[in-house]
Amino acid sequence: MRSTFSDVEAKAKDLTDCEEYQQQTSRRSKRNTKCDHFTGSTTLDNFVENQTPGQRFEIQVFIVIIDNVLSALTKRMEAYHEITGVFGIFRQLKSLTTEEILENASRMVSAYEDDLESSLGDELVQFAELLKTDVATVIDSKKQESLELQFYKLLLNNSLESCFPNVEIALRIYLSLMITNCSGERSFSTLKRIKNELRNTMGQERLNHLTLMNIEYNLLKEVDSESVISKFAHIKCRKVYL
C-alpha cells in the first residue's frame, strides 16, 4: 500500500483542486557539527532539507497512517482468525467428514471446557445429518441472517434443544460474543474534562461520582434537581432552638 502514494496524491488533488503543497516556512535549527561525533548527521540533515513537500508528506504523514491502519487491521484479523478457528465448523458442517467434525468439536470443547461436554462431537455429527433432511430446508446461505443464527432458530422452532444441548450452548456462545471492529472511547478523555488543574485536590470518591454523572449525562438530565436539593436540605437541616 505504500507504493500507492502517487495514485492517492493524484485523487486528492482532483478532489481538492489543489496542485501544490503548502511550503513550510518555519525556522530550522542548525546543529553544531563541530561537536558532533556522529558522521552521518550532516548527510541526514541534508537529506531532510532537500526533500520536496510531497516527499515530506509521504514520509511523515502517508506512510505513518498506512502503517497504523495495517497494524490495526492485523490485530483485528488475528482476533477473527482465533474465533473462526473455534467456531468455523458451523460454516463447513455439511462438507466435513465425521473425523473432521470430531476433531473440530474437540477443539471447541477444549476452549469452553466449563460449558461444553465431550459429547458435542457426536451431537454435531447427528446435527450435520439433520441438515441434509427436509427439516433444514429453511436454511439458506443467501439470507442476510448468518448460518449460525439460522441453525439456532432451527433448534428452537423445532424444539430440538434437548436433542442437541451442547450444540445449542455452542451456538448461543458464538451468537452472544461481543466482537466488534470499533474501539471504545478511552476513559482518560472523560476524566480529563472533570479533573483539571483547578481540581487537583479532589478526593477519589467525589471524582468517581462526578465521572459517573458525566458519563450518564442523558440520564442525569431527567432527574429533577429541585427535588434532590429539597431532600438534601431536609436531611441536613439544622434547627436552632431559641
Cα 146 from Cα 3, distance rounded (Å): 37
Residue 95's pLDDT is 86
Give which of 34, 57, 61, 31 is closest to 46, Cα–Cα.
Answer: 31
Would you place residue 29 in the very low, low, confident or very high pLDDT band (cuts 50, 70, 90)?
Answer: low
Q: Give the model confidence (pLDDT) of 137-150 as tens digits.
A: 888 877 888 889 99
Of 13-27, 66-80, 166-180, minimum mean pLDDT range: 13-27
Mean of per-residue pLDDT scores for the chain: 79
What is the spatial distance between Cα 181 and Cα 80, in angstroms, rounded to a whole number? 10
Cell of 93: 458442517
**Count of residues for the chain?**
242
Q: Which residue has the higher pLDDT, 56 or 37?
A: 56
- As a whole number of angstroms, the distance between CA 212 and CA 209 comes to 5
- Grid cell listed for 217: 449525562
- What pLDDT is stored for residue 241 in this prediction? 60
**How do residues 189-230 score in pLDDT, each as one tens digit?**
667 777 766 777 777 888 888 888 888 888 888 888 888 888
Cell matching residue 145: 441472517
Domain ranges of the chain: 2-81, 93-175, 187-235
Comparing CA positions, the residue from 156, 142, 1 lying closest to residue 68 is: 1
Angle, alpha carbons 142-144-145 (nearest 5°): 105
Read off the pLDDT of residues 35-53 as tens digits, 9 standing for 90 and up.
Answer: 555 555 556 566 666 777 7
Task: Tell me what percent of the residues of the chain surpass a pLDDT of 70.
Answer: 76
**Is the pLDDT higher at 3 or at 175?**
175
**pTM attached to this predicted model:** 0.52
d(CA 66, CA 50): 24
